[in-house]
Structure 1
Amino acid sequence: MRIVIALGGNAMTSADGRATPADQQSAIQQAAEPIADLVLAGHDVLLTHGNGPQVGNLLVKNELTAGHVPPVPLDWCGAQTQGTIGMLLLNALDAAFAARGMERPTAALVSRTLVDAQDPGFANPTKPIGRYLTEESTRPLVEQGQSFVEIADRGWRRVVPSPAPIDCLDSASAAQLMDAGFVVVCSGGGGIPTVREADGRLTGVEAVIDKDLTAGLIAQQVGADILVIATDVDSVIADWGTDRARPIGEVTVDEMHQIAAEQGFAEGSMGPKVAAVTSFAESGSGIGVITSLTKIAHAVDGEAGTRVVPASTLHPAH
């Protein structure tokens, strides 16, 4: 099968959230192991990933040097982190393949995601990024065009637009590489946010695109059979934090729509993941799965995770 796997931020940092180079390298090496097993089993794989901690590091550098050098814009931050994380993933995958006595070419694409320049998010930036600052620390950044909001008892935090993804502009290249046998890393961090100007030119913009929604989109565009969003839980939990808490197993698209409406999954957490896998399954492209990194192979085989499927493909145990 052709599988798109979206690695969450937990796969890129240590267990306590640290994002030093050594922490990131160690975490990515661990993430490569179950992915290599899927490739060994004969599946074609495309990886996409989060980049929140890595962009966060770049934003701190922006803040510390704002009075001396212009801040690096968010589209540049996205491109830089795609390159860094892509390099780490390729090295880790190559090592995991070698340990299994197999050879498989790998490639990482610096990849753009098209958004609508008229998306309402640009007029009302609400996506918080970076660390909390004092009002004084924000002044040189505000002078250079950045927006901040004050959070009671915490400080000031930058907010940016989060437009909806329209098109993964480099998905055709990714699909061709997969057809040629490559394991591909693409659309990391939701892709580099890009708009099309009136004259047809493509331009990067200051925004953050939800990585899970982009994962669902590129899965459709490369013809994936399964979209797996790997997170830090084995499955989605209904009635989280109550004595009625229960894992959600295999459900239809309609059932998941109803569950999502009842549960009100958080926008900054499980909400986009549920939306992404449901939309992917609803498109008729394949099955959408949410599970932990260690359960990916079991989830692909229908034995673990939250699986959203069209009614016609329900597992007999449903």
Structure 2
Amino acid sequence: MTEPVQDQLRDSVQASFQPGRPGALSRLAHPGGLRRGAGCAASKVPEVSVYFWITKVLTTGMGETTSDFLVTWLGPLIAVALGAAGLAITLLLQFAVRRYVPWIYWSAVVMVSVFGTMAADVLHVGLDVPYAASTVVFTVVLAVVFIVWHRTERTLSIHSILTPRREFFYWAAVLTTFALGTAAGDLTAMTLNLGYLPSAVLFAVIIAIPAVDYRRLGLNAVVGFWFAYITARPLGASLADWMAVSPARGGLDWGSGPVSLGWAALILGFVSYLAITGRDIERKGPRPAPDE
């Protein structure tokens, strides 16, 4: 986040808490335990492929800079309110459809990215929670989501999202991973003083670990997917911040607005391609094994 954004967010969030005032990788997607077959319910998530990962990283970067831009332009309270409203609307649309629809699904992911960034920034800037602490907090929250999800459904595979309850767990996990990734990315870039570009390189190396372990060491596919999914967030956010921030902070100084528009155009291009070609639609729904 830029310093002006931090100052605005800190002042507004702290004011809202005053008494008497209102508060404002493709193989990893197919674990061996999944059995495909006709007659299964339609999946509510896309086929995981290179298109999935590219679009996912793009949404993380756009969410980071869009959040900063909105907070600067509209003020923290209005920006957060709009982010929450946008998230609610897109998730309602996503839950309303019966199968995966590219523009609805990715619109929800974009709003999760924007609001997840705001959630992490509110903790740090508004409530003075250190990035190290917020990273731990979101890690614990994500662990709780995964534990409850698995105990309830006996699976964490994204290719088992065939019921409303599983979809609820899925989006709860997705939202938490975005907040966690935001905190982790800012932790390495700012608290540990690595800078944005070195942080992006670091997370690019980390995200390759699941693919290597899956091929050579037999890493559990579901674990590998979520590991990569979490890491994709700080990877994209660090790249976008590097493009947006000033040279004094190690960036290219393109500005959060132009960077957001550029990444949005790329997302629109990929999602349009997927909607037209259907390259990321599962033709046969999976049947999750009970022991995943």
TM-score range, shorter chain: 0.3 to 0.5
Higher relative strand content: 1
TM-score by length of 2: 0.34
Higher relative helix content: 2
**Higher relative contact order (CA closer than 8 Å, sequence separation 6+):** 2
